[in-house]
Amino acid sequence: MEYYSKQIGDLIAALSHLPGIGSKTAQRLAFHILSMPKDQVAHLAKAITDARENVRYCKECMTLTDEELCPICRNPKRNHRQIMVVENPRDLAAYEKTGKYEGVYHVLHGAISPMNGIGPGDIKLKELMVRLQKEDIDEVIIATNSSLEGETTAMYISKLVKPSGIKVTRIASGVPVGGDIEYIDEVTLLRALEGRTEL
């Protein structure tokens, strides 16, 4: 049985296609949008349309930007000899929030996952290798997730990059702040032990 008119139903259906948005959240968002002033709705629609039409890959690091180079790659104060490889733009944003990393990035837009049919050619690995050949790089920091896919990707990148003589490092991972050791899995504990630092 149909509860809503076609246009309301279409809006709910469109919103429910977004990741992490179930039918109840889509319904809530739809009714919120319908109660917004028309100028705010127009602004929201324009922002979505403009972003979809104008956002593209940064020529250097492959993150998403609306210019040829992203703000990080354009910044002369960044250490362009150090590249941190991350899986997606959200990971880049997470590291930027720390305010401690001064190098540049390379965004893969995924991780190698044979189970899901994602191979090295399906992520931005070729672009990384081209970049390493034309730029003078001291270190590649691999900051992929600690998942099976992230570890596979890290090992693959390491094998590709090491023969060139560039230093390859992997971020340490381990016990989260506030985590109880008894509840943490063995792989995480082993990584924490191997990544220990002197006090």
pLDDT digits (tens, 9 = 90+) for 136-177: 999 999 999 888 898 899 999 999 999 999 999 988 777 676
d(CA 60, CA 50): 22
Q: Looking at the chain, which residues constitute the CATH 1.10.8.420 domain(s)?
A: 6-54
- 122 has a pLDDT exceeding 80: yes
Q: What is d(CA 20, CA 90) in angstroms, rounded to the nearest whole number?
A: 15
Q: Which CATH number fits domain 64-194: 3.40.50.720, 3.40.50.2300, 3.40.1360.10, 3.30.750.24?
A: 3.40.1360.10
Cross-strand partners of 85: 106, 142
Percent of the chain scoring above 70 in pLDDT: 93
Alpha helices (H) in 6-147, listed in sequence order: 6-16, 23-35, 38-54, 71-74, 89-98, 125-134
> Is 2.102.10.10 the CATH number for 6-54?
no
In this structure, what token pair is assigned to residue 138?
Answer: 């001291």
Predicted confidence (pLDDT) per residue in 59-109, tens digit? 999 999 999 999 999 999 999 999 999 999 999 998 898 888 999 999 999
3-class state of residue 188 by DSSP: helix
Chain mean position to CA 49: 22
Provide CATH 3.40.1360.10 ranges for the chain: 64-194
Q: pTM of the full predicted structure?
A: 0.82
